[in-house]
Chain A
Amino acid sequence: MSNLAQDGEKLDRNRMSAQAPVSSPSPGDGPTPTHSVPLFYRRGFRRLLQQGLYIAATALLFWYVYDALNLREFGFGFLDDPAAFKVGNQWLTDVDGVTSSRIEMYLVGVWSSLRVVFVAILLSTLVGVAVGVARLSSNWLVARLAMLYVEIFRNTPLLVQVVLVYAIFLVGAPIIQEVVIIGDFAFISNRGLAIPWPVPNDGLWGLPDWFVGVWVALLIAIGAVAMTVRRTRQNRERETGQPQFANRWAFGIFAVGALVTFIVLGLPVSIDRPYVEGTRYLEGMVIRPEFAALTIGLTLYTGAFNAEIVRGSIQALPTGQTEAANAIGLSGYQRLTLVILPQALRQMIPSITNQYLNVNKNSSLAYAVLYDDLFRVAGIIQNKAGHALEMFFVIIVTYMLISLVISALMNFINSRVTRVGV
């Protein structure tokens, strides 16, 4: 009790002194105002104080994070341990999980994600351009169908679409025992779509498998030659006005070159036809329902947005462009490919880049359809090893890297397209 009473007395005394009249010097006879400003109100001191507080707070935050991570034994050593599990949907890799490490298995997951992202970006662009142009068609039915597509897929959640497509594959496609055979070379069942696929082989001269790489290198070289020829012919056509058939020349050079090298190297590639044995597909290329569901879902969803971007970019062009193209007698196809799309492309690319980044991020919906993408593989590792913080760090860095690469490529394309000012 006595403590409290004393405190009370002190408080009273303080109040008394605060209330006591304070003799303040009048502005005229004291020191100059700059000297009379208390330390706390001086600008220099204030700045120092603010900086100091900021530095202290930042240091405290870093110390806290460091301390927390230290206690959690933050580190990435666990990624080198044996994976002890196997992921499905592997293509061009054969990682069994027993001899491989967790990080290798994670990279298999990254590769699975990249395949989905690449194919979905490609297909959604094609769908977007086709539907976007179709929406502006003068044909009533085509325009309305395109609009219906856009409105349906733009206004329903992507997750629902992906799961729905997967359910259609699982329930709708026949079981493997009742596999549907298309023209004796392709098979459809709910185990996936099996199609013929080129594979390297020994060929006539008995060359090792890697020799197919030589042929691929030659094809690239021939392609480069064909493109150079195409450009020179295009330039000549532009200068002289005489038709030079640049595309036909380029295609001819490439086809002949490919055929000749193919024969000279002794047919290093053969087409593998799939077949069904028991309940499994053998050889050929199997597109699994999980991959197909995710890719188709992403394509349909992103395609709807891309279509709107394409339509908007075309409509943003002055109508004079269309009228001018009509006036000089271009056909509808020529008008589109030579006049409209090249100009609309400048508008499209920045918006389409965003959609591509979304495809990358949305590919994590693989979680819903049994597809072993990087997110699921990371989840498996996390379940086995703990280290959730580290795994999420790795996941975020991976998605960011993929996004940054996509952005960089699209910025490069954008700079090419907008190089000529309008």
Chain B
Amino acid sequence: MLFAGAALVAGAVIGACTSDEEQQQAQATEQQQQVEQQQQRAQPEAQVSGEPRGNTTQLVQDRGTLKCGVKQTQPLFGFRDDQGTVTGFDIEFCKAIAAAVLKDADAVEYVDASDASTRFELLADGQIDILIRTTTITSSRDMELDVDFAQTTFYTGQGFAVRKDSGINSTSDMANAAICVQTGTTTEQNVADHFTDIGLDYEPTGGLSQDVAAAFFEGRCDVLTADASDLASRIVVRDDADDYKILPQIISKEPLAPGVRDYDSDWKDVVNWVVHGLIRAEEIGITQANVAAMAADPPNTEVARLLGVPFGDGDVATLGFDVVDAQFIQRAIAAVGNYGEIYDREIGSAIERDCTLNALARPLPSEAVDCGPGEGGILYALPYR
């Protein structure tokens, strides 16, 4: 604040002295802007709820790197290999956002947010700019915690993995079963709710996700419960993957979405529309391979708008995104490809996509067959819990 005050005084002095010189006045304004930015940046510490605080987009651009809080222990979604390289489905979105905001998909610092219990604190404390870590949107997280959720990147639900020879085919076979549950997640609440509903008791063993998975594979528990995508990712990397199965029963909705800090709607908008942009790119056939050609010669106005290039002799449509330039989605697609390409590259081999919620809304609901009253749409209410 002292520095900000000094800068303000300096700005005022310069402004007073050179009121007739346009150039120096502009300099003063620039300084004042810097002061404002510094004040804004200082604000996250104040933790004033209900007021806009911080401008993460600006913060990221000033810093030159994106601090992305990711899981490093879950194959396919966020995993650190022997060489220390972090890869996975979630990582692609970090790269896409870095490409969009910083024009460099590699300008990402991957911060370990593997521990579910502390991930929201990392975000609230400003140690990360964004949390992309298989995190479920829930009403209570949205309202109670200092987190805001952008567009869902992956729809899944809580499932159960068992040994094939266990004779368990649904939760009704799990009376008094030993169940390995990841703690600090929505998973433990879903399982508590579900077993109350079906009137059975169970014996939970809780811990960090990789620890409970290890315990399950050693036979400590009869059942491992987590998001179905999580279960698939843990089983597929094993040599004895054929000994296990994931029950078809799904007991919850788990929309996994990027989390940003509350009260920073510009930043949330950027994240939101990068995700939508990647999905829209798939819908209209823009790929990593053809994005450059498409940008050079857009076939129609929508492609031109999405890629931030003029159509014919027209102007570039900025769409009102003043915090990033018009080509931010073009860069994201160039860096990681469209949603479908990301899916196929990272998780397509392990998790079926066709006819799931993660496929495109095609055929369009109006063309779908055999729908009951009110069914066959793409309405998807977020979970109240």
Residues of A at the B interface (CB closer than 8 Å) are: 1-4, 68, 71-73, 84-88, 96-98, 170-171, 175-177, 190-191, 279-280, 289-290, 367, 369-370, 372, 376, 379-380, 382-386, 388
* Chain A residues near B192 (CB-CB < 8 A): 84-86, 96-98
Which chain B residue has the least Cβ–Cβ distance from A2? B17
Q: How far is the CB of B118 from chain A (nearest CB, A)?
A: 8
Q: Establish whether residues A386 and B145, one from each chain, have CB atoms under 8 Å apart when the complex forms.
A: yes
Known contacts being A85-B189, A86-B204, A279-B222, is A380 close to B184, with CB within 8 Å?
A: yes
B117, A380: Cβ atoms closer than 8 Å: yes
Please judge, given known A-B contacts A279-B177, A280-B176, A372-B206, whether A170 and B215 are in contact too, CB under 8 Å: yes
| Closest chain A residue, CB of each to CB of B116 | A383
- Can you report 29 residue pairs joining A to B where beta carbons are below 8 Å apart? A1-B17, A71-B49, A84-B192, A84-B193, A85-B188, A86-B188, A86-B192, A86-B202, A86-B204, A87-B206, A171-B218, A190-B218, A191-B220, A279-B166, A279-B177, A279-B178, A279-B222, A280-B177, A280-B222, A290-B205, A369-B207, A370-B206, A370-B212, A376-B207, A380-B188, A383-B184, A386-B120, A386-B145, A386-B146
How distant is B317 from chain A, measured CB to nearest CB, in Å? 40
- From B118, B203, B220, B385, give the contact of A190 (CB < 8 A): B220
Q: How far is the CB of B210 from chain A (nearest CB, A)?
A: 11
Within 8 A of A (CB), among B115-132: 116-118, 120-121
For A2, list chain B residues within 8 Å (CB).
Answer: 17
Given contacts A96-B192, A279-B222, 9 further A-B contacts (CB under 8 A): A1-B17, A85-B189, A98-B193, A98-B196, A176-B219, A190-B219, A367-B207, A380-B117, A385-B144
Complex interface: chain A residues within 8 A of B47 (CB): 68, 71-72
Contact present for B220 and A380 (CB under 8 Å): no
Which chain B residue has the least Cβ–Cβ distance from A169? B220
Least Cβ–Cβ distance between B180 and chain A, in angstroms? 8
What are the 10 closest A-B residue pairs judged by CB atoms, nearest first? Answer: A175-B219, A370-B207, A383-B184, A85-B188, A170-B218, A84-B189, A379-B117, A88-B204, A383-B117, A98-B196
How many contacts between A and B, using CB within 8 angstroms?
100
Contact B206 A88 (CB under 8 A): yes
CB contacts (< 8 Å) of A88 on chain B: these are 203-206
Give the complex CA separation of A97 and B204 in angstroms: 11
Q: How far is the CA of A207 from the CA of B145 in the complex (A)?
A: 52
Name the residue in A88, A175, A388 with the highest tally of chain B Cβ atoms < 10 Å from its Cβ: A88
The docked-state distance in angstroms from the alpha carbon of A73 to that of B13 is 42
- Residue B183, interface by CB 8 Å: yes
CB-based contact A388/B207 at 8 Å: no
Evaluate contact between B212 and A384: CB separation under 8 angstroms: no
Pick from B46, B121, B176, B191: contact of A388, CB under 8 Å: B121
- Beta-carbon contact of B120 and A383 below 8 Å: yes
Q: Whole-angstrom distance from the CB of A304 to the nearest CB of chain B?
A: 26
Q: In the bound complex, do residue B220 and residue A170 qualify as a contact, i.e. CB atoms below 8 Å apart?
A: yes
Asked if B145 and A376 sit within 8 Å, CB to CB, the answer is no
| B284 smallest CB distance to A (angstroms) | 40
For the complex, count residues of B whose C-beta is within 8 A of A.
Answer: 45
A2 to B184, CA, bound (A): 64
> Shortest Cβ distance from A359 into chain B, in angstroms?
21
Q: In whole Å, how far is B217's beta carbon from the nearest beta carbon of chain A?
A: 10
Q: Is the CB of A3 within 8 A of B17?
A: yes
Interface centre among A73, A175, A280, A370 (most CB of B within 10 A): A370
Q: In the bound complex, do residue B220 and residue A289 qualify as a contact, i.e. CB atoms below 8 Å apart?
A: yes
- Docked CA distance A41–B188 (Å): 68
Residues in A with CB closer than 8 Å to B191 are: 86
A379–B13 CB distance below 8 A: no
Contact B183 A380 (CB under 8 A): yes
Q: Is the CB of B48 closer than 8 A to any CB of chain A?
A: yes
- Nearest residue, chain B, Cβ from A73: B49
Of listed B116, B166, B220, residue having the most chain A CB within 10 A: B220
A contact residues around B207 at 8 Å (CB): 367, 369-370, 376
B366 near A: Cβ within 8 Å?
A: no
CB-CB under 8 A from A4, the residues of chain B are 13
Distance from A353 Cβ to chain B, minimum over Cβ atoms (Å): 32
Q: Which of B49, B206, B218 is close to A376, meaning CB atoms less than 8 Å apart?
A: B206
With A98-B196, A383-B120 already in contact, the answer to whether A87 and B204 are too (CB < 8 A) is: yes
Query: In this assembly, does B172 line the interface, its C-beta being within 8 Å of a C-beta of chain A?
Result: no
For residue B16, CB closer than 8 A to chain A, the reply is yes
Whether, in the assembled complex, B140 has its beta carbon less than 8 Å from a beta carbon of chain A, the answer is yes
Q: Does B211 contact A (CB under 8 A)?
A: yes
B67 to chain A, nearest CB (A): 20
Q: Least Cβ distance of B144 to chain A in Å?
A: 6
Residues of A within 8 A of B121 (CB): 388
Bound-state CA distance A380–B192 (Å) is 14
- Enumerate B190-238 residues with CB–CB distance to A below 8 Å: 191-193, 196, 201-207, 211-212, 214-215, 218-220, 222
User: Which one of B120, B188, B206 has the greatest number of beta carbons of chain A within 10 Å?
Assistant: B206
Chain A contacts of B188 at CB under 8 A? 85-86, 380
**Beta-carbon nearest neighbor of B196 in chain A:** A98
B-side contacts of A190, CB under 8 Å: 218-220
Q: Give A176 Cβ to nearest chain B Cβ, in Å.
A: 7
Residues of the B chain whose Cβ atoms lie less than 8 Å from the Cβ of A386:
120, 144-146
Q: Which residues of the partner chain B approach A96 to less than 8 Å between Cβ atoms? A: 192, 196, 201
B186 to chain A, nearest CB (A): 9
The distance in angstroms between the C-alpha atoms of A369 and B116, with both chains bound, is: 16
Residue of A nearest to B219 (CB): A175
